[in-house]
């Protein structure tokens, strides 16, 4: 019985390339990974804005050390895709202990006027531009600003949203902590802060505290 031979493959003009699973290349890739990891860890160790690599479990609540770390907190970029009609609920930040407000949450609160915004940046930066109706309360000069701003925050159950330079800034957390110590029960932090608000093209204004 005649067997039907499959046609011979067409002669290739190009030899095949090297195998991706070459042991030497895999070893080099491991070295490259180890070198990058070691470099990154050492850089982080000596860099002024380095972060703590060890995540410490934080108790819920506000009485937690503020300088612990600025690392992994869910941040304002994440929002559920469903449309909401009420301001989105804030979730507690695992490291600072304060409820955080997303960009969308901050905008909703701004639109409805349901919260008082506190700008924890220095006065000069606040004067340059800030969220409309936000009060300037520079966290590093709390005692200077307190007599001016606190009389406007009589209702201690009113929602307060503190913000500053964004996720790498701790001024808003400092301010939230001090206000909590004074008995304000509904203090939240907008971690995305001024950079995120400005980037989103939301309303801004200039000048001093109204």
Partner 1 sequence: MTLEQLLTDKPLCALGAVLLILWAWTRTRRPSMGGMDPLTLATTLIRVVCGCLLVLASYDKLGDAAHFAKAVENYRVLPAALVPLAAVVLPWLEFFAGLCLALGWRHRAAAWILCLLMAAYSLSLSVNLLRGVEMNCSCFSKDSLEKVTGWTVLRDLFLLGLGWIVLTARTHAASVESLLERLRPR
Do strands 159-163 and 135-136 pair parallel, antiparallel, or not at all (unpaired)?
A: unpaired
- Distances in Å between the Cα of 151 and the Cα atoms of 147, 170, 185 are 7, 24, 16
Confirm or reject binding of residue 116 to partner 1 (CB under 8 A): no
For residue 100, the cross-strand partners are 91, 189
Residue 145, number of CB atoms within 10 A of its CB:
20
- 18-47: contacts with partner 1 (CB under 8 A): 18-20, 22, 25-26, 28-29, 31-33, 35-37, 39-41, 43-44, 47
Confirm or reject binding of residue 144 to partner 1 (CB under 8 A): no
Q: Is the dihedral of CA 86, 161, 210, 156 positive or negative?
A: positive
Quote the least distance from Cβ 40 to partner 1, whole Å.
Answer: 4
C-alpha–C-alpha distance, residues 81 and 20, integer Å? 40
Question: Could you tell me which stretch among 106-114, 115-123, 144-152, 189-197 binds partner 1 (CB under 8 A)?
Answer: 189-197
Confirm or reject binding of residue 66 to partner 1 (CB under 8 A): no
Confirm or reject binding of residue 4 to partner 1 (CB under 8 A): no
| Residue selected from 74, 89, 206, 207 as contacting partner 1 according to rule CB under 8 A | 74
Which residue carries 């969220």 as its tokens?
Answer: 131
Do strands 91-92 and 187-190 pair parallel, antiparallel, or not at all (unpaired)?
A: unpaired
| Residue selected from 112, 199, 203, 210 as contacting partner 1 according to rule CB under 8 A | 199
> Which residues are near partner 1 by CB under 8 A?
13-20, 22, 25-26, 28-29, 31-33, 35-37, 39-41, 43-44, 47, 49-55, 69-75, 77-81, 94, 166-168, 191, 195-196, 199-200
């Amino acid at each position: 019985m005649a067997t039907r031979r499959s046609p011979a493959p067409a002669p290739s003009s190009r030899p095949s390339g090297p195998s991706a699973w070459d042991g030497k290349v895999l070893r080099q890739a491991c070295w490259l990974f180890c070198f990058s990891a070691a470099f990154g860890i050492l850089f982080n160790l000596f860099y002024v804005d380095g972060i703590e690599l060890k995540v410490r479990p934080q108790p819920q609540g506000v009485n937690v050390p503020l300088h612990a770390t600025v690392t992994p907190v869910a941040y304002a970029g994440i929002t559920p895709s469903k449309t909401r009609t009420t301001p989105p609920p804030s979730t507690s930040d695992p490291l600072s202990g304060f409820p955080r407000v997303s960009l969308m949450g901050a905008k909703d609160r701004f639109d409805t006027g349901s919260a008082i915004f506190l700008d924890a940046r220095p006065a000069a930066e606040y004067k340059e531009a800030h969220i409309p109706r936000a009060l300037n309360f520079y966290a590093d000069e709390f005692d200077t600003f307190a007599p001016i701003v606190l009389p406007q925050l009589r209702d201690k159950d009113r929602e307060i949203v503190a913000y500053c330079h964004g996720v790498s800034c701790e001024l808003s957390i400092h301010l939230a902590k001090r206000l909590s110590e004074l008995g304000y029960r509904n203090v939240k932090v907008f971690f995305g802060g001024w950079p995120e608000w400005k980037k989103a093209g939301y309303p801004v204004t200039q000048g001093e505290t109204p």
